């Protein structure tokens, strides 16, 4: 989709603060209120703006352990892959799931309270996911960068 400079600026501003008023947004991007509002609605309708959320600080919520997990699947038929992907949706601690290239099939990001909680999750749920052949976990020591802002 072709975005002009106003669309990109609207997206830049909204990525930083989705709670900004339409009056403030229109002033910051250099448009009057109604054209700015129309552009935001168009970006929403096109699916470029997917949703507006509140980002929480996981450490302040006592969820200080981030784990990255590579998963290899036994069978690569569509039934097995679909079953795995569906089951992942039901585990709240999994906050991201990506298919990957190379010798691993999926990369998961899990956020939990402690290493002990991860061990419980691993034994009770992750090893029970459909068609799992191998799981390899890596614990994040420090988060160096975390942003939801896309480079426009």
Sheet strands side by side (includes 106-112): 94-99, 106-112, 65-73, 132-139
Using a pLDDT cut of 90, give the percent of the chain over it.
99
**What pTM was estimated for this model as a whole?**
0.89
Contacts (Cβ under 8 Å, ≥6 apart) of 94: 88, 108, 109, 110
pLDDT of residue 94: 98
Tell me the per-residue pLDDT of 19-72, one tens digit each, with 9 for 90 and over: 999 999 999 999 999 999 999 999 999 999 999 999 999 999 999 999 999 999
Q: Where are the domains of the chain?
A: 5-45, 65-139
5-45 classified as CATH 1.10.10.10: yes
Q: How far apart are CA 117 and CA 151, in angstroms?
A: 35
Identify the architecture of domain 65-139 in CATH. 2-Layer Sandwich (3.30)
């Amino acid at each position: 989709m072709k975005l002009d400079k106003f669309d990109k600026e609207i997206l830049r501003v909204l990525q930083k603060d989705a709670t900004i008023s339409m009056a403030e947004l229109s002033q910051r991007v250099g448009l009057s209120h109604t054209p700015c509002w129309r552009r935001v609605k168009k970006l929403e309708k096109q699916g470029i703006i997917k949703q507006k959320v509140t980002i929480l600080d996981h450490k302040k919520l006592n969820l200080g352990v981030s784990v990255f997990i590579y998963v290899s699947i036994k069978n690569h038929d569509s039934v097995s892959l679909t079953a795995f992907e569906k089951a992942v949706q039901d585990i709240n601690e999994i906050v991201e799931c990506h298919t990957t290239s190379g010798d691993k099939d999926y990369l998961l990001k899990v956020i939990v309270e402690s290493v002990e909680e991860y061990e419980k999750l691993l034994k009770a749920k992750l090893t029970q996911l459909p068609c799992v052949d191998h799981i390899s976990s890596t614990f994040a020591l420090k988060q160096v960068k975390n942003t939801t802002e896309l480079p426009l």
